[in-house]
Chain A
């Protein structure tokens, strides 16, 4: 190949490369700690939940799949709660009024936390909505699930079962 042509090709290829950003919540890494205000008025800190399997679900009312999976998450929570499992729903909206109103008609019993300035979503490197992070009993991120489509709740249940057994 002509060297000039090769250089041009290399330059074209380099332009097509996307900007890299390292996601904070990668499986195997320690979950970044946070303390957020909860819907019931208290505060929830992730470090306090060490020893439990924690499933962190990032959601918003403007996100259709998030609304769709919410009742299924509530079912998962009631089913696995006795086994040392906690589900945290982190709402990422700057104004949580819409979430509070929407939740009134929902059978959601697990803690809903308000990440109004998106710091927690940022520290977990949320790459899609909804995003679900599974943290094991030692406080390590084990699985990260992006998005939701019908049937994914079975995958969630598998992940929870495998972590609860440890």
Chain B
């Protein structure tokens, strides 16, 4: 019982330390042009990347399992 109270207190203090602190660095609403920077893109060459993804999916039998397209049914 005492142990669980101690654990709860520890969790509480940890939450108190993290929950109220602002996350930094934070992109402000007026700085959103930085998202459009080339370094923010996951793939430098979208055409080559989509081809490579297709190869991986076909080879691993994982069609539809990556990204947001399809529901993982393997039918698209």
Which A residues have a C-beta under 8 Å from some C-beta of B?
3-4, 7-8, 10-12, 14-17, 19-21, 58, 60, 62-63, 92-94, 118, 121-122, 126-129, 131
Contacts and interface: CB of A to CB of B under 8 A. Distances in A.
Contacts of B33: 60, 62, 93-94
A3 B32 CA distance: 45
Contacts of B15: 11-12, 14-15
Contacts of A17: 19-20
Nearest to A10: B12
A94 B37 CA distance: 13
Contact of B23 (A8, A19, A92, A129): A19
B61 to A, nearest CB: 40
Chain B contact residues: over half helix, strand or loop, or mixed? helix
Contacts of B28: 118, 121-122, 126
A7 B8 CA distance: 6
Contacts of A4: 1, 4-5, 8
**Category for how many chain B residues contact A:** 20 to 34
Nearest to B23: A19
Interface string B6-20: 001101101110111
A54 B59 CA distance: 63
Contact of B11 (A3, A8, A60, A127): A8
A1 to B, nearest CB: 13
Contact of A3 (B5, B22, B23): B5
